[in-house]
A and B are shown apart, each in its own frame.
Chain A
Amino acid sequence: MDKKKDIMNIPKQPISQRILKYTLTTAIVFASLWSAAGLEITIERILDAPRQIGILVGAMFPLDTSQEAIDRIIPKVFESLFIAWAGTVIGAIFSFPVSFLAAQNVAVGAVSRITKQILNAIRAFPELILAFVFLPITGLGAFTGTLALGIHSIGTLGKLSSEVIEGIDEGPLEAIKSSGGSKINELIFGVIPQVMPTITSYWLYRFEINLRASAVLGVIGAGGVGQELINQLRFRDFPRAGTVLICTIALVLIADAISASIRNRIIQGKVVKS
Chain B
Amino acid sequence: MINIPKKPPPSYLVTIGIPFSILFTVFSFQRVGFNLQDFRENLANRAIVTDPLFNPKWSWAWENTADAMVETVQIAILASIVGCALALPLSFYASRATNLNKYSYFLYKSFLNLVRTIPDLFWAMLFTVAVGIGPFAGVLALIMFSLAIMGKLLSETIDSIDPGPMEAAKATGSTHNQTVFTSALPQVLPNFTAYFLYIFELCIRASVILGLVGAGGVGRIIETQRIFLRFDRISPIIVIILVVVILIEQFSVWIRRKIL
Contact = CB atoms under 8 A, between A and B. Distances in A.
Q: Does B bind A?
A: yes
Contacts of B136: 39-41, 45, 49
A154 interface: no
A138 interface: yes
Interface in A216-244: 216, 219-220, 223, 226, 229-230, 233
B78 interface: yes
Interface residues of B, number: 64
Nearest to A209: B119
Contact of B39 (A34, A38, A85, A138): A138
A233 B129 contact: yes
A133 B131 contact: no
A53 interface: yes
Number of chain A interface residues as a range? 35 or more
Given A28-B81, A49-B131, A49-B140, A142 B119 contact: no
Given A53-B130, A136-B48, A143-B32, A129 B238 contact: yes
The secondary structure that dominates the B interface is: helix
A202 interface: no
B16 to A, nearest CB: 12
A219 B121 contact: yes
The secondary structure that dominates the A interface is: helix
Interface string A34-58: 1110111100010011001101100
B247 interface: no
Interface in A54-100: 55-56, 78-79, 81-83, 85-86, 89
A205 interface: no
Interface of A: 20, 24, 28, 31-32, 34-36, 38-41, 45, 48-49, 52-53, 55-56, 78-79, 81-83, 85-86, 89, 124-126, 128-129, 132-133, 135-139, 141-143, 145-146, 212-213, 215-216, 219-220, 223, 226, 229-230, 233, 245, 248-249, 252-253, 256, 262, 265-266, 270
Interface stretch (B67-75, B100-108, B166-174, B177-185): B67-75
B86 interface: no
B33 A219 contact: no
B91 to A, nearest CB: 19
30 contacts: A24-B259, A34-B77, A39-B74, A39-B139, A40-B136, A41-B78, A41-B135, A48-B131, A49-B140, A82-B27, A83-B28, A85-B28, A86-B29, A89-B25, A89-B29, A124-B242, A126-B209, A133-B50, A133-B53, A136-B48, A137-B43, A139-B42, A141-B33, A143-B35, A215-B119, A216-B122, A226-B122, A245-B126, A249-B114, A270-B11
A82 B28 CA distance: 5
A141 B71 CA distance: 32
A261 B73 CA distance: 37
B175 interface: no
Contacts of A137: 39, 42-43, 45-46
A55 B130 contact: yes
